[in-house]
């Protein structure tokens, strides 16, 4: 029986010899096939350049879906309906005009805490209509620079479903209605606008 130090030394030398023989075979093949080696190196370089170029090209942003429909609320029936985007409320509603002869449809801000809500997960945050000229003349002028929210709210009236009174969207009460509509739920999630089908 061989001593341990001799056995380890022989095993080490045998491993080195096997590695040299294996490398010698690879070296011989490389020496015998220089064109193949050049072709492999060129293909690898081209592939590297292609990968780098592909990584440097910026991703195209996904196409923006242009909404062509909006939610409206029929004040006679208390039901939502879908109509063309950009109509100036009040608009004609499926149930016909209000008792005073004016159109019964107003824009509805339909929200949900779910990304893909079903009908039971949607709720109406607030209703929106256009202020008639006689009310516009009474609209208070807000002091200070106009924010985006203030600009959006000019000339618009909003209310909750259960409210009887309309408020200017850029008034304190109007801002309170909007804040309530977009308030976070118990899980800290904020609602998002639901697009009509």
> Read out DSSP for 141-179?
PPPSPPPHHHHHHTTEEEE-TT-SS-EETTSHHHHHHHH
Lowest mean pLDDT among 13-17, 110-114, 123-127: 13-17
Q: Is the pTM of this model over 0.85?
A: no
Query: Are 84 and 95 spatial neighbours (Cβ–Cβ below 8 Å)?
Result: no
Mean pLDDT of 119-129: 91
Q: List C-alpha distances in Å: 71 to 10, 66, 166.
A: 85, 15, 18
The reported pLDDT for the residue numbered 106 is: 95
Question: Which burial class, exposed, middle or buried, applies to 177 when counting CB atoms under 10 A from its CB (0-12, 13-18, 19+)?
Answer: buried
Query: Are 194 and 121 spatial neighbours (Cβ–Cβ below 8 Å)?
Result: no
As a whole number of angstroms, the distance between CA 89 and CA 138 comes to: 19
Mean pLDDT of 145-168: 79
Instruction: Tell me which residue of 41, 14, 69, 6 sits closest to 197, measured CA to CA.
Output: 69
């Amino acid at each position: 029986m061989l001593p341990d130090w001799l056995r380890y030394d022989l095993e080490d030398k045998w491993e080195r010899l096997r590695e040299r023989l294996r490398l010698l075979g690879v070296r011989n093949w490389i020496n015998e096939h220089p064109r193949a080696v050049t072709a492999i190196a060129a293909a690898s370089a081209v592939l590297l350049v292609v990968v780098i170029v592909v990584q440097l090209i910026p991703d195209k942003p996904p196409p923006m879906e242009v909404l062509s429909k909006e939610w409206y609320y029929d004040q006679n029936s208390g039901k939502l309906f879908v109509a063309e985007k950009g109509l100036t409320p009040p608009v004609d509603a499926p149930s016909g005009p209000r008792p005073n002869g004016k159109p019964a449809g107003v824009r509805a801000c339909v929200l949900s805490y779910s990304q893909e809500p079903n009908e039971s997960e949607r709720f109406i945050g607030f209703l929106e209509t256009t202020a008639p000229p006689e009310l516009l003349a009474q609209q208070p002028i807000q002091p200070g620079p106009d924010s985006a929210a203030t600009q959006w709210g000019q000339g618009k009236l909003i209310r909750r479903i259960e409210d009887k009174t309309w408020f200017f969207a850029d008034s304190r009460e109007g801002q309170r209605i909007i804040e309530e509509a977009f308030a976070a739920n118990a899980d800290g999630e904020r609602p998002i606008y639901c697009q009509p089908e």
